[in-house]
Chain A
Amino acid sequence: MNIFKQELKMAYRSIFSWTLAMIGICWLFMTFFQSISADAELMNKVFSNFPKEFLNALGISDLDMSTIQGYYGLILNYVTLIGAIYAMKLGVGVLSEEVRCKTSDFLVVKPVERHTIVTAKLLTVLLLIVIQNVVYDLAAFGIANLYKKIEFETGLFFMINSTLLLVQLFFIGFGLLISVMIKKIKTVLPITMAVVFGFFVIQMLNETLDEKKLTYVTPFAYFDMSTIIKNQALDGTYVILDLVLIVLFVILTYIIYKRKDMPSV
Chain B
Amino acid sequence: MNVIKRELRANLKSLIIWSLSMTFLVYVGMVKYSAFAAAGQSVNEIFEQLPPAMMKIFEIGGLDLTKISAFYALFYLYFNLLSGIHASMLGATIISKEERDKTADFLFVKPVERHKIITSKLIAALINVLVLNIVTCVASIYFISVYNTGDSITMEVLRSILALFFVQITFLSVGFASSALVQTTKKATGLSTLIILTTFMLSVGIDLNEDLDFLKYLTPFKYFNIAKVMNDATYPIVSLVLVFVIVILGLCVIYYKYPKKDLHV
Contacts and interface: CB of A to CB of B under 8 A. Distances in A.
A186 B100 contact: yes
B197 interface: yes
Given A28-B201, A35-B209, 14 more contacts: A21-B197, A29-B205, A36-B208, A54-B46, A57-B39, A57-B43, A57-B71, A187-B97, A189-B186, A189-B193, A193-B196, A201-B78, A205-B25, A214-B28
Contacts of A205: 25, 28-29, 75, 78
Interface string A76-90: 001000100100000
Interface string B202-229: 0011001101000000000000000000
Interface residues of A, number: 38
B21 A198 contact: yes
A181 interface: no
Given A53-B38, A204-B78, A209-B32, A190 B93 contact: yes
B81 A32 contact: no
A221 B101 CA distance: 38
Interface in A185-205: 186-190, 193-194, 197-198, 201-202, 204-205
Contacts of B57: 39, 43
Contacts of B74: 57-59, 208
A16 interface: no
B88 to A, nearest CB: 9
B72 to A, nearest CB: 11
24 contacts: A28-B205, A29-B204, A29-B208, A32-B208, A35-B209, A50-B43, A51-B42, A53-B36, A57-B40, A57-B70, A58-B60, A59-B74, A78-B201, A186-B100, A187-B185, A188-B186, A189-B89, A189-B186, A189-B190, A189-B193, A190-B189, A197-B81, A205-B29, A208-B74
B95 to A, nearest CB: 13
Given A190-B189, A201-B25, A208-B74, A57 B81 contact: no
A187 B189 contact: yes
A21 B193 CA distance: 13
- A interface secondary structure, majority: helix
A211 interface: yes
B50 interface: yes
Contacts, number: 103
A46 interface: yes
A250 to B, nearest CB: 25
Cβ-closest 7 pairs across A and B: A53-B39, A189-B189, A190-B89, A32-B209, A201-B78, A54-B43, A209-B32
B106 interface: no
Interface string A205-226: 1001101001000000000000
Nearest to B97: A186
Interface string B79-108: 001100110010001000100110000000
A47 B4 CA distance: 54
A4 B93 CA distance: 31
B158 to A, nearest CB: 22
Interface string B33-54: 0011011101100100010001
A49 interface: yes
Interface residues on B, range: 35 or more
Nearest to B14: A190
A51 B100 contact: no
Nearest to A36: B208
Given A46-B54, A187-B100, A209-B28, A51 B93 contact: no
Nearest to B75: A205
A125 B226 CA distance: 41
Contacts of A201: 25, 78, 81-82
Contacts of A135: none
A256 interface: no
Nearest to B190: A189
Contacts of A58: 58, 60, 74
A232 to B, nearest CB: 26
A25 interface: yes
B60 A193 contact: no
A74 B65 CA distance: 25
Contacts of B38: 53
Contacts of A43: 57
A215 B189 CA distance: 30
Contacts of B97: 186-187
A197 B85 contact: yes
Given A57-B71, A58-B60, A204-B78, A193 B29 contact: no
Contacts of A211: 32
